[in-house]
Structure 1
Amino acid sequence: MPVTESKALLPAPIDKHQPTRQRLWPLWIITLLALALAVALALWSWQQWNNYQSLQQSIASLESDTEQLDRMYGQTGSEQGQRLQALEDKLADQRELIATQQRQIDHNARELLEAGNRTRTDWLLAEAEYLLRVGNQRLMIEKDIRGALAALESADEVLAESDDIGVYPVRQQLAKEILALKGLADVDRTGLYLKLEAAIDSIHQLTDNALVHDRAPGFVSNNESDSPESNASEPGLIAEGWHKVKQTLSQVVVVRRLDEPVKPLLSPEQSAYARLNLQLMLEEAELAVLRGHQELYSRALAKASNAINNWYDSSNARIIALSKTLDELAEKNVDPELPDISRSLELLKARLAGRLDNGEGDTPENSNDGEQGDAS
């Protein structure tokens, strides 16, 4: 058998290779990659959580800001509403004021238009009316007889200058009222007030020497009881001895008579109180003079006179002068009965109304025609 054939019939040889070691580095790479991926995923999750928390905080802050803004806008809206209401009220007041001013302007324009058509007689009558108003005010409110008389006399002169025969009844009534005022005793309120002020100044100058001391009624010392007549009535030595005895007794004994009321002595505090009390009484009299209150005036002066008689020495020169001044002031009448002088003003108003209603003030010719009609 040939060799080639024998070899061909033999089983195929088996290659004997040495076993090789398994490589693990890819597994490590995968593990590392997985670990890195897990760490990255954890970091990303932590970052997302932080972002979520920040977002939640931002949302909460936005909600709080939104609520605050809502409250703020609510208050602002309320304030704006109040301001708008106040502005509307103010605007209404301004409109009312403008309307009032417009009415006043219209009234003044009509008055000026009528004034331009008035004659000299109308102006004189208006001046006389003003003077009569002043006279009534002086007499009724201020009780100034002299001022009221001057105003009425001036009004009569103006009416005489007007040459309006229609004012004859007014002048007739004015003559009666002027005569009534002249028959009143004018009250010099300024002079009475100044006299009372002088009396108050004299009270401030009073010292304790003017108070009642040893000269009070009912006080008699032993020295005063030793009159020359009593000594002269006793003869010689007996009189001399009796005089010496009385001089000795006068040094230790004081005799007071109780059959007359004794005025109390005043301490310095009581003296200041007495002066203040007198000042208040005289100030009350001043107020009564200004108000024209006769009863209050008389009562205040009576109380002041009684206080002076009770607490001060009647032989003091200042007290004598003050008492005399108060007695003179007590005789004054500060509230005379005042006559009614308003009738002349009413008549003049009626005359002015008649001239305006009849259109007598339009032209001088109409004014003359009206005077002729009154004369007829």
Structure 2
Amino acid sequence: MTEYEVPARVTSSRSVWPVLLSLLLIVALAGTGYAGWRLWQQRAATEETVAAQDTLLRRLSRQLGDASAEIQQLRQRQSDVTEAARRNTDTLGSLASRADDADATLARINTTIQGGRSRAQLVAVEQLLLIANERARLAHDAKGAADALSLAQDRLGALAEPQLFAIRESLATERGALQALPGVDLEASALSLSALIRRAPQFPQRSRTPAQTSVVDSGPSRDLKPAGDSSAWSRGWSSFREVLGAVFILRRNDKPVDRLLPPEQEVLVGQLLLMKLETARAALLSHQTGVMRATIEDVEGFLDDYYRSDDPAVLGARAELDRLQSLDLDPPLPELGRSLGLLRAYLDATPR
């Protein structure tokens, strides 16, 4: 470097500074203008926002006034509703009190009605027990008495009253005692006797045995001998016939066999048999065991005396009579008064 170059650099640096300052001034002015423009825009936006908020505040103020009026109206309405609710509450309280009184009255009426119905049912059960005792004591009808006890037991069960348990237990015991009795089918037995009565006229009666069993004709007898009389077989046959002729004599008899009774008396025997069977059937239906057994024994002796004992029809009749004679038409019935006594005691102790 020479001494002539240094001043040139100094001159050059001095000429740059004004340019830089001008550029800085321009940039500062531009920034200031931009900042002012931004401030102006923000102010305008703020004024618009304030105006909008002022408009919104005025609108909200009007809406608040309307809401206050509506709230006042609602308060008035609420006061009216509260007053109406209070009146309704008083009315409901009065109605509830009346309903309680009505329920109490209905409960008393229901108790009275139920008590009356229960007592009527118990009176009906008492009648059934009386019927059962009458069927057992007077008619000796074990089945009818058991049916009456069964109906009484069903009616007591429908009442569902715990205090009636002892009566129901006694009824079950009496009904079981009746069902344990030996059953006799009177209808079937009476039908068997009716069938015997219908078949009795066909029973064969006994006949008299004749003195000589049989008689043969006296006509010429044929000599049944094969051809060739001189043969040994013919001689043997002739000897055999002579021996048979010495032992048996066959004769023919065209007269009828004598009977034990004449025809008119045979009809009387048949009528007597029918009468005895009718008596046995009447005794069977009236539950007279002794009379029935004695009559059946008489019928069997009558069959032995006047009818053929080897005939199948007579043998079948004897077997049926033996079966009927073993029946017990009047077995001792159990006592049925305990349940009736318990029921009457319960009715006496229950207020009407």
TM-score range, shorter chain: 0.5 to 0.7
309-318 or 243-252: bigger deviation: 243-252
Structure 2: distance between partners of 1:239 and 1:332: 61
Counterparts of 1:23-172 in structure 2, within 5 Å, are 118-172=115-169
When normalised by structure 1's length, the TM-score is: 0.52
Across the aligned residues of Structure 1 and Structure 2, the Cα RMSD in angstroms comes to: 2.9
Measure the CA separation in 1 of the matches of 2:294 and 2:115. 55
In the alignment, is residue 325 of structure 1 matched against residue 317 of structure 2? no
Residue pair 1:125, 1:162 contacting (<8 A) in 2 also: no
Matched to 1:349, the amino acid is R
Unpaired runs of at least 5, structure 2:
1-111, 216-235, 254-258
* 1:249 to 1:204, Cα distance in 2 relative to 1, 3 A: closer
Displacement of 1:211: 1.1
The AA in structure 1 aligned to 2:132 is G
Match of 2:302 in 1: 307
Query: Residues 193 and 289 of structure 1 are in contact (CA less than 8 Å); yes or no, is this contact kept in structure 2?
Result: yes
**Aligned equivalent of 1:36:** none
Equivalent position of 1:279 in the other structure: 274
8 Å CA contact 1:135, 1:147 repeated in 2: yes
What is aligned with 2:244? 243
Native 8 Å contact 1:131 1:152 kept in 2: yes
1:155-304 alignment runs, 5 A limit: 155-206=152-203, 210-213=204-207, 221=213, 237-248=238-249, 265-304=260-299
Match of 2:108 in 1: none
Q: Report the CA distance between 1:238 and its aligned residue.
A: 4.8
Gapped runs of 5+ residues in structure 1? 1-114, 224-234, 253-263, 362-376
Partner Cα distance (2:148, 2:274) in 1? 37
User: For residues 284 and 171 of structure 2, what CA distance do their matches in structure 1 show?
Assistant: 28
Matched AA of 2:245:
K
Contact 1:121 1:163 in 2 (8 A): no
Per-residue CA deviation, residues 209-241 of structure 1 (Å, 9 max, x unaligned), is x11126x6x988369xxxxxxxxxxx9655422
Aligned equivalents of 1:238, 1:352: Cα separation in 2: 106
| Alignment-mate amino acid for residue 344 of structure 2 | K
Q: Residue 69 of structure 1 corresponds to which residue in structure 2?
A: none
Q: How does 1:349-360 map to 2 (within 5 A)?
A: 349-355=344-350, 359=351
Which residue of structure 2 aligns with residue 41 of structure 1? none
The whole-number CA distance in structure 1 between the counterparts of 2:180 and 2:114 is 41
CA distances 1:287-345 after superposition (whole Å, capped 9, x unpaired): 22122111111100000011011111123232222222212211222111211112211
Higher CA-based Rg: 2
Q: Which amino acid counterpart does residue 167 of structure 1 have in structure 2?
A: L
Structure 2: how far apart are the matches of 1:240 and 1:200? 53
Is contact 1:133–1:345 with CA below 8 Å preserved after alignment?
yes
Structure 2 residue corresponding to 1:344, chosen from 315, 339, 343: 339
1:168 deviation in Å?
Answer: 2.2
Aligned length: 217
Whole-angstrom distance in 2 between the partners of 1:139 and 1:245: 76
* Matching residue's letter, 2:324: L
Percent identity over paired residues: 26
1:76-120 deviation per Cα after TM superposition (whole angstroms, max 9, x unaligned): xxxxxxxxxxxxxxxxxxxxxxxxxxxxxxxxxxxxxxx979522
Q: Would you say the 8 A contact 1:211–1:266 is kept in 2?
A: no
Q: Relative to structure 1, is the Cα distance of residues 280 and 116 closer, same or farther in structure 2, using a 3 angstrom cutoff? A: farther
Task: Say if 1:244 and 1:348 are closer, same or farther in 2 by CA, change over 3 A.
Answer: same
CA positional deviation for 1:181: 0.8
When residues 187 and 250 of structure 1 are mapped into structure 2, their CA distance, relative to the original with a 3 A threshold, is same
